[in-house]
A and B are shown apart, each in its own frame.
Chain A
Amino acid sequence: MGLKIPDDSFFQDYDPKIEALQELSNIGVGHAATALSQLLNRKVDMSIPRVRFVKVEEVSEHLAASPEEVVAGILQETSEEDKGLLNLLLIFDFSSVKQLLKTLIASPIPESLENLDEVSISLIKETGNILLIHTITAINSFTETRWFPHAPSLAIDMVGALTDELISADPENVERFLLVEVDIFTDGEKIKGDILLLPDTRAMNALMTTIYGENWEEMYS
């Protein structure tokens, strides 16, 4: 893990929530990369997660070249009693899916995401599941919380369509939200996995409280 040198936009956008989520995703994705490494039986490296605020209108522009680009999305809902909902969405683009399937199975590489067979779909879902579960486990052990992961759900469709529901999930916050991006590398081959960490307002407060204490808002004001 190298030293992160923040650029100007980092300072413009500075917010303790970014710092907290940056730390959480660093830890989470590190664990996930280890798990993936065991699954693929090869060395897996990951980039330092990039965390930033994204305007809702621009979400899909950050994830793909066009809102119409077809991608695979794995949604992991997690909840903890009265602490709200922490949703995670993992996005693999088509070239990452091809890379993943090539690494995992020797079956013919699909021509497009629109016509994957059952085995491929199940492999993508399971890989996503492993990455996401480990991310959550790491967040739990770091913050001493018990976010409970529910059954993951896979959808393959236009990236813009997949993110609609998630950016709508917290009606109290409809202007911008936090996006965590990470790249995964296996033997120099890149599998790009964008993980969107989407705590609702209550979950964000719960996370901040466990990291910084009850008065976290005053500390930074």
Chain B
Amino acid sequence: MTEVLTAKIGEIQIGKPPSKLQALALGSCVGVVLYDRTTRIAALAHVLLPTEMNNDGKANPGKFATTAIPEAVRRMEAMGAKRENIVAKIAGGAKMFETNVSTDSLDIGRRNIDSVVNVLKNLGIRIVAQDVGENYGRTIIFDPENGLLTVRQVMNKKEYQI
């Protein structure tokens, strides 16, 4: 039986075949999939914000790109993954509403993507596929068996793999 592990907002899920990893209804949130192609150990972080504002360390690290991605890498390495074998696939970061005044605060999707890209670059992790931005929600399911990320646009009734 295939187990599907769901990463809710701010959660990091780790799995390897036959488990799958999913994140439901990503809007401005970004789903970051990290995948070691050799050991097939995978992580999925459901990132809410680019970076932590009040640095009191009390917030859950999984919520922020700057803390969630290093934490996911750490957990993967603890399971035997090798940094140099890890690649990334990212999806989400949409802008769901046409906004007027809160442009800065509500163009959070764009800022999430920028932060994720930046953090991955600093960690030396290559992004091999991405499906980001636009104005629709996405559900993503990652299969560590074949390394494919299924993206489902529920509203547009589209489903494809990247």
Contacts and interface: CB of A to CB of B under 8 A. Distances in A.
B21 to A, nearest CB: 16
Contacts, number: 122
B19 to A, nearest CB: 20
B27 A165 contact: yes
A153 B43 CA distance: 35
Nearest to A163: B27
A168 B102 contact: no
Interface string B83-98: 0000000000011111
Interface in B83-120: 94-102, 105-106, 108-109
A181 to B, nearest CB: 19
B53 interface: yes
Interface residues of A, number: 38
Given A159-B25, A165-B109, A169-B106, A77 B101 contact: yes
A158 B109 contact: no
The binding surface of chain B is classed by DSSP as loop
Contacts of B137: 157-158, 160-162
Nearest to B24: A67
20 contacts: A60-B25, A67-B25, A68-B24, A68-B25, A70-B154, A75-B99, A151-B100, A157-B136, A160-B26, A160-B137, A161-B94, A161-B96, A163-B27, A164-B29, A164-B48, A165-B108, A168-B48, A168-B105, A169-B106, A172-B54
